[in-house]
Amino acid sequence: MNISENAFPNSWYPLCRSIDLRSGKVRTCFALGERFAVFRTVSGKVGALQAVCCHMGANLDFGHVRGEALCCPMHHWEYSHTGQCTHIPIDSNIPRCTKQQSLLCVEHYGLVFAWLGEEDPSFQPPVFPLGEKFHIASPRHFYFDAPYQTGAANAYDQHHLHSVHRREVIDSPKFYQRIDQHFGIEFQANIIGRSIYDHLLISMGKKQVHISIDCWGGNLLLMNHLGTPNHMMIALLPITHKRTRMFAVTLTPRLTSPVANFIFGKLMVNIMHHLTMMFVKQDFRVLRGMHLKPNILLPKADDSFIRWFHYWEALPRTSLAQQVMKNRKSKES
């Protein structure tokens, strides 16, 4: 494998929750081995700027929002959400090269995502087939000390379903791929565990689970518990190559009756979220400190993991340094 230490697959990376970024607020966010100042302008635009000010290097995340700009705490230069310098207090002549490195941001399912990769994103943040009508539980986030890809690979590691989650896979899983950045798996499994979650599922008449998982960009996992209203997105952020922040968002479809929606909608999505998190937490006990160095792999038991790993290795990658160069070239041309 020849993967540069500083490059990550081109993808949308979750920086923070939308609710944690109120209008006029700045947050520090460690992502992709760098420090970013993530802020929301008064009109609601979100920007993610590399935190080291391009003037003399002060920390922009200690700055404040002034209208539509982020103001550096040191000499009060102001930057727009795209990183363009818009104001220098004692000099109206802004040098052409004065631009703070920025990442394109969008908000999706309650999270702020930043794009790393080509200037025009090669795919949009993925969606569940729920249309505009769904209930969403407030996203939760966790940290673990392991490369982010351990979290994504785990979803494709059918071998651990038996040992960690007490699920017995029935038949061979199906694999599908829509574009190069996507890799999907669908499988069914018997519930053989006896945890509270397992008992709950069995008491609801579910002796089997039928799951589809769609991975996008190597770090975004859309999980559908088929036959139930449960949809969960896991979005992984590499803080460094050894530490990860994981966001989990649960969605359920809206009920047809407006009254039922009002009374049960929010309750149902929160129960689903709680139950799914019980399952996800089983992984945390084993992911901590994992290195993900595939060594002795079994052709049959590790087949789905091997396929995912080949997909992940082949993803196009960009480092922040490369992105800076690309942005500079496109600005000069």
Chain residues that interact with Fe ion, rule: CB under 5 A = 154, 283
Closer CB to ligand FES, residue 52 or residue 249?
52
Q: In the bound complex, what is the minimum distance in angstroms from residue 73's beta carbon to ligand FES?
A: 7
Q: In the bound complex, what is the minimum distance in angstroms from residue 83's beta carbon to ligand FES?
A: 13
Query: Contact between 306 and ligand FES (CB under 6 A)?
Result: no
User: Binding partner of residue 137 among Fe ion, ligand FES, none, CB under 5 to 8 Å per kind?
Assistant: none
User: Binding partner of residue 37 among Fe ion, ligand FES, none, CB under 5 to 8 Å per kind?
Assistant: none
User: Binding partner of residue 75 among ligand FES, Fe ion, none, CB under 5 to 8 Å per kind?
Assistant: ligand FES
**Backbone φ and ψ of 24, nearest 5°:** 80, 10
Query: Contact between 55 and ligand FES (CB under 6 A)?
Result: yes
Query: Contact between 58 and ligand FES (CB under 6 A)?
Result: yes
Q: How many CA atoms lie within 13 A of 127 on its CB side?
A: 10
Q: In the bound complex, what is the minimum distance in angstroms from residue 265's beta carbon to ligand FES?
A: 47
Which tokens belong to 80? Answer: 């727009």
Closer CB to Fe ion, residue 153 or residue 268?
153
Closer CB to Fe ion, residue 108 or residue 160?
160
User: Binding partner of residue 154 among Fe ion, ligand FES, none, CB under 5 to 8 Å per kind?
Assistant: Fe ion
Q: In the bound complex, what is the minimum distance in angstroms from residue 35's beta carbon to ligand FES?
A: 14
User: Binding partner of residue 283 among Fe ion, ligand FES, none, CB under 5 to 8 Å per kind?
Assistant: Fe ion
User: Binding partner of residue 159 among ligand FES, Fe ion, none, CB under 5 to 8 Å per kind?
Assistant: none
**Backbone φ and ψ of 151, nearest 5°:** -70, -40
State the Cα–Cα distance between residues 287 and 147, nearest whole angstrom.
Answer: 9
Q: In the bound complex, what is the minimum distance in angstroms from residue 63's beta carbon to ligand FES?
A: 8
Q: In the bound complex, what is the minimum distance in angstroms from residue 71's beta carbon to ligand FES?
A: 9
Query: Contact between 26 and ligand FES (CB under 6 A)?
Result: no
Closer CB to Fe ion, residue 94 or residue 164?
164
Q: In the bound complex, what is the minimum distance in angstroms from residue 217's beta carbon to Fe ion?
A: 20
Site for ligand FES in 65-84 (CB under 6 A): 72, 74-75, 77
Please state whether 23 falls in left (phi above 0), alpha (psi between -120 and 50) or beta. Answer: beta
Judged by CB under 6 A, the residue of 19, 42, 56, 297 near ligand FES is 56
Q: Strand order of the sheet with strand 111-116?
A: 11-17, 111-116, 105-108
Judged by CB under 6 A, the residue of 21, 53, 103, 112 near ligand FES is 53
Q: Are 35 and 57 in contact (CB under 8 A)?
A: no
Q: Which of 47, 44, 52, 48 is nearest to 22 (CA)?
A: 44
Q: Which residues of this chain interact with ligand FES, rule CB under 6 A? A: 53, 55-58, 72, 74-75, 77
